[in-house]
A and B are shown apart, each in its own frame.
Chain A
Amino acid sequence: MNNNERIWGLPAWVLPTIAMIVLTLLWEAIVKGFSVPLYIIPAPSDIYKASVHSSGSLLFHTLITLYETVVGFAVAIVIGVGLGVALIWSRFLRETFFPLLVVAQAVPKVAIAPVLLITLGFGEMPKIIIVFLVCFFPIVVSTVAGLESAPREILDLARSMSATTVDTFRKVRFPAAMPQIFVGLKVSVILAVIGAIIGEFVGADRGLGFLILISMSQAETPLAFGAIAVLGVASILLFYGVEWLERIIVPWAQD
């Protein structure tokens, strides 16, 4: 567990960065060396050029996708954590709805996307709902698991002191659940981006998913790759955003 001893005394980011640079150069060399056509596989330099050239539209579509992702994710947090609390609170709710949740989760969200599009139209709303649907389940499950992880002795202590249910949740169960809830959030923030792209693939006139499809159909492969790269960066930033929040909200869960 001792991460303080680094290979050759280098900071953690140095080796992966070097590896990435080497791989990118290798890619560039192979594509240029074998004269692979631009529309089949573009070299990193081509992707960069195309992205800079279309930076305005790239930014526009990125903001659309980010908007869908963040709103859907936020709604999933509010409803997911809320439902998790309700399921622990009431045995009736738990026994009634938990099986339904599992069934709902078993349905592939990709299959629902076209249906939602017909019901809700072309705008951002169906994408937000798909994001919500993919994020929702991991958040509920991790919330339930977290709330149940509160030490039994403390719950006994609360009961022996006739503590109110609200106090027990507020002072013990909920804070105890936080580390687990964040595990769910970290899983689902990545799923959120996937959900938004699925929605855009099925039918959209903007967003990075749309940009990828339209560039490919017009043989503008470098721009499609550029959009994919931006998507990757956005996912990573969102993930680290959640991790940053975790460090602030649950500082005791470190190490």
Chain B
Amino acid sequence: MSPPALLRCSSVSLTYQLRDKSELVALQSMSLDVHDKEFIAIVGRSGCGKSTLLRLVSGLLTPTSGTIELDGKPVAGPRDDVGIVFQSPVLLPWRSAMENVLLPIEFLKKDPAEYQERAKELLALVGLKGFENGYPRSLSGGMQQRVSISRALISDPRILLMDEPFGALDAMTREELSFELLRIWDERKKTVLFVTHSISEAVLLASRVVVMSPRPARVARIIDINLPRPRTLDMEFSDEFRRASDEIRDLIYSKNESQPK
């Protein structure tokens, strides 16, 4: 059948101890297999543990129970083969685009000089050729997010974790960047975990959409998106797009609303 999963989450739970000794279940018994070079979107309402999942995979959080394996090895503590893109670009304003892209390399104690060419090439990949020496405040929001995508790719990670990366952008920039992300994903053969609260964005980009239900957060259903690649904007009018979107919408709204606590 299919090759072994690149990322395997088995009954992962995360419980926070609150100050008054009560517990908050941020994620309950989540299981998910992500294959190499897959594009997975994760949707759900705010507070349903989407970002928690990304923090777990990146090793910033440790699960209370369950295991996360990346490439057959358990995730224990921070690791350098994941690239992270946040909702806001969070570039350092005193560094040029180039220097921002090279920041992870410096954190990893590698020689930035050896990565200059790669950084340049990655900036070209995201359409920022010629802006290498520009400072963040001279770049638009969309351009800044492009820089932050380059920064996530600089250490050549196996898996790209994106936490609502286009959520802060205007609708047009958002669409433009979405398709560029697909192009990059296709060119670079990365595995992408893409958290979003836009159903249409999830369906249009992903091969599978993980729908999460809130409180306690767990996987409500994983939906396959059978749209051909390369994806185009007019697929939004296809039957498959409508079917998938409706299914996700039903899961997120009606069903959970009526669920007793």
Contacts and interface: CB of A to CB of B under 8 A. Distances in A.
B93 A163 contact: no
B241 interface: no
Interface string A234-255: 0000000000000000111100
- If over half of B's interface residues share one DSSP class (helix, strand or loop), that class is named, otherwise mixed; here it is loop
Given A162-B107, A163-B107, A157 B94 contact: no
Interface stretch (B10-18, B80-88, B246-254): B80-88
A160 interface: yes
A225 B108 CA distance: 61
Nearest to B108: A161
A161 B86 contact: no
B33 interface: no
B235 interface: no
B53 to A, nearest CB: 15
A75 to B, nearest CB: 27
A171 B60 contact: no
A160 B59 contact: yes
B103 A160 contact: no
A175 B92 contact: yes
Interface of A: 151, 153-154, 156-164, 167, 171-172, 175-176, 250-253
Interface in B147-176: 155
A249 B199 CA distance: 45
Contacts of A175: 92, 94
A160 B137 contact: no
Contacts of A164: 109
Interface string B79-105: 110101010101011100000000110
A87 to B, nearest CB: 23
Contacts, number: 59
Contacts of B104: 157, 161
Given A156-B60, A172-B92, 5 more contacts: A156-B55, A161-B155, A163-B107, A163-B108, A252-B93
Interface of B: 55, 58-60, 77-80, 82, 84, 86, 88, 90, 92-94, 103-104, 106-109, 135, 137, 155
B78 A162 contact: yes
B59 to A, nearest CB: 6
29 contacts: A153-B84, A154-B92, A156-B55, A156-B58, A156-B60, A156-B84, A157-B90, A157-B103, A157-B104, A157-B107, A159-B78, A160-B58, A160-B60, A160-B79, A160-B84, A161-B78, A161-B80, A161-B104, A161-B108, A162-B78, A162-B107, A163-B107, A163-B108, A164-B109, A167-B106, A171-B103, A175-B94, A176-B92, A251-B94
Nearest to A161: B107
Contact of B90 (A154, A159, A161, A162): A154
Contact of B94 (A153, A163, A167, A252): A252
A161 B157 CA distance: 11
B90 to A, nearest CB: 4
Contacts of B86: 153
Given A161-B80, A162-B107, A252-B135, A153 B92 contact: no
Contacts of B90: 151, 153-154, 157
Contact of A159 (B60, B137, B155): B60
A176 B91 CA distance: 11
Specify which of B55, B94, B137 lies most central, judged by the most chain A CB atoms within 10 Å of its CB.
B94
A248 B99 CA distance: 19
Nearest to B86: A153
B79 A252 contact: no
In the A-B complex, list the 4 residue pairs whose CB atoms are closest, starting with the nearest.
Answer: A163-B107, A161-B107, A252-B93, A153-B90
Contacts of B107: 157-158, 161-163, 167, 171
A121 to B, nearest CB: 45
Specify which of B55, B78, B104 lies most central, judged by the most chain A CB atoms within 10 Å of its CB.
B78
Contacts of A160: 58-60, 78-80, 82, 84
